[in-house]
Every structure is written in C-alpha cells, then in structure tokens.
Amino acid sequence: MDYRKLGDTIYIRMDRGDEIIGCILDVCRKEGVMSAVFSGIGGCSEAQIQTFLPETNTFESQTLRGMLELVSLTGNIVNGDQKELYHHTHAVFSYKDGEKHCVAGGHIKSITVLYTAEIELRPVVGGMINRQFDPETGTGFWSFR
C-alpha cells in the first residue's frame, strides 16, 4: 500500500494481498482522520459481503472468490465514544461464473486485493461525525454532536 495526501484528500493505492478496509483504517490512524468518506475501484480476489436481516438483527454473509472487478466501493469512517474507528462500507463486484457475467454487492466485511485498488479518502473538514449505537437494530448510526 502507498498513499499521498494532496490538499484535504488522501489517495491510496493498494497492492496484491492488501485488505482494503484494514488499509483505509490504518491510513486514518496514521493521519489522525476521525471521520471521512471514501470511494474506490479495483481488481480483487476475495470479498466478504453481508446483508443485514432486520427481523433477526443479524447479518447473512457470503464470500466471493476469483477475479472480482470492484465496480464501486463507497463508505464512511466515523468514531465511537472511545475514539475507536468504525467503517460502514458497501461495494459492487462483477465477475464471471462460467460463461455468465454476474454482479453481487452489499455491506462489506472485508476485501482482498488481487492486483490493485485505488481509493479516494476525503476526511471531514471543520468537524467530526460520531457513531451512536441504536439498540433497536443493534448497529450504529451517524451522530452529530
């Protein structure tokens, strides 16, 4: 992984074997970023996709493996009460299954890079977005304090 800060934006290039969410969180820690939004594209080898099931307050998981074209990655970083960082990430992948071209997407737990990923990280300027736990869903949402 390598990155550069240009103005208020951080550009991250990830390489084979890098885990995208972990790298984004590492850059945030190194640069002191407590809240941000990000987007990206790339070529990946594995993705753990989750779908939230409100009736059980659980996530259903699916792991994709193979040549996965990261068509769209979007997400945010916020901080909790103890200043820990949380991500909320969604992505869409295209891939081949035999002769069929397929698409899958959803909430992301992890993504492993196959050959590269290019991420634009835009820190929040002039404030901070926090995470507030929601007991009804068991998840966290944005909080503006």
Mean per-residue pLDDT for 72-79? 96
Give residue 126's region: left, alpha or beta (phi > 0; psi -120 to 50). Answer: left
Residue pLDDT, tens place only, 13-57: 999 999 999 999 999 999 999 999 999 999 999 999 999 888 887
Residue 137 has pLDDT above 80, yes or no: no
Q: Which residue ranges make up each domain of the chain? A: 2-143
Contacts 24+ apart (CB under 8 A), 126-131: 127/35, 128/34, 128/35, 128/79, 129/35, 129/76, 129/78, 129/79, 130/35, 130/78, 130/79, 130/80, 130/81, 131/78, 131/79, 131/80, 131/86
**CATH 3.40.50.1110 for the 2-143 domain, yes or no:** no
Predicted TM-score of the model (pTM): 0.92
In the three-class reduction of DSSP (H, G, I as helix; E, B as strand; rest coil), residue 29 is classed as helix
Phi, psi of 136 (to 5 degrees): -65, -40
Residue pLDDT, tens place only, 90-135: 999 999 999 999 999 999 999 999 999 999 999 999 988 989 888 8
> Which H/E stretch holds residue 118?
strand 100-123
